[in-house]
Amino acid sequence: MGRYSEAERLLQQALDIERAIFGEEHVHIAQTLNALGAVMLETCRLSHARSLLSQALRLKEQLLGTAAPEVAVSLNDLAVVYVRQEDLSSALPLYQRALDIRRGALGAAHPDTAQSLCNIAELRGRKGEFDEAARLYNEAVRVYECVFSEAHPDVAETLNSIANLYQRQGMPLDTIRPIYERVLHILCEVYRPDATEERTQYPRHPAVALALNDYGILHAAHGSYTEAERLLREALSVMRGVYGEHHPDVKQCCRNLADVCEKLGAPERAFEFRHLAEQN
C-alpha cells in the first residue's frame, strides 16, 4: 500500500504542476488523470477512480479525437472499474468501443487489440455466453501467435482462460487436459532461466503457479484426486518460492490441497494443509 500512497502523492503533485503550466486542457493532464485513476482502482477506491478516469476520457476525446488509441486506454480502465463494481452491462460497451478503436487505429494483428478481445471474452463468459467467449479468446490467441510466437506468455495466459472457460462449461477432462499441458509447456520454456536446469522442476513464476493450481482444480473436479494432489503440491511449491509462506494465494492453495486430501481419505494430510492455511 505504501508504494501506491507514494505514487498518488507524486501524481497529484505532477497534476498540480501541469495545470499551472498548461491550464486545464492538455494531453499531459489527461494522462496524469488516467494514471491517478489507475492508482485509485488498484487501491479499491472505485468512486474516485471512476471520476478521474471519466475526466481523463472526456479530455482525451476533446484533444485527441474519439478514435485515438489513448482514448481506448481510458475506456479500458473505466470498464475495469465497472467490472469491479459487478456492473457488467456498463463495462461491456466500453470494452467494445475500445476494441473498435484499437482495430481501426492499430489493426487487427496488434497485442492491444488482442487484449481487448480477451477483456470482452471474460465478460461474455461471466454472462454465460460461452460460445462467444471461446470465439473471442481463440481470436486473441491467433493474434498473439501472429504478433509474437506460439510460445509466448500472452498465448499461455489466454489458453489458460480458455481452459477455465471450458471447465465452467463442464467439458470433459480429455478436452481440457491438452490445453493445460500446452500452457505449462509454454511457460516452462519461457520462464526456465537456464536450459540446463533440472527439467522436472517448474520455474518459479506466478503464471506457472496459477496454471498448476487451475490444472489441479480441474483434476479434482473430475475425481482424479491423486493427480490433483500432485499438481497442487507443485503449485504450492512454486507459490512459496515466489510469494513466501503467508501470501493469500499460498493459503488458498493449501485449502485446495486440504479438500483434495479429504477426498483421498487422508485426514492427517488434510489437517496439515488446513493448519498451514490458517497460519498468520
Considering only CA atoms, which of 197, 201, 194, 268 is closest in space to residue 233?
Answer: 201
Burial of 14 (0-12, 13-18, 19+ CB in 10 A): middle
State the cell numbers at 208.
506457472
Look at residue 1 in the predicted model and tell me its pLDDT.
54
Which single residue is written with the C-alpha cell 489441479? 216
Is the pLDDT confidence value at 201 over 90?
no
The CA-based diameter of the chain, rounded to the nearest angstrom, is 69
Which one, of 186, 229, 228, lies nearest residue 205 by Cα?
Answer: 186
Give me the chain's average pLDDT, please.
Answer: 94
Q: Number of helices (H) and strands (E), helices first, in the chain?
A: 13, 0
CA–CA separation, 22 and 82 (whole Å): 31
177 pLDDT above the threshold of 60: yes
CB 216 within 8 A of CB 231: yes
So what's the pLDDT on residue 279? 82
pTM of the model: 0.89
* pLDDT at residue 196, as a whole number: 52
Do residues 187 and 156 make contact, with C-beta atoms less than 8 angstroms apart? yes
Residue 164 has pLDDT above 70, yes or no: yes
How far is Cα 240 from Cα 269, in angstroms, rounded to an integer?
Answer: 18
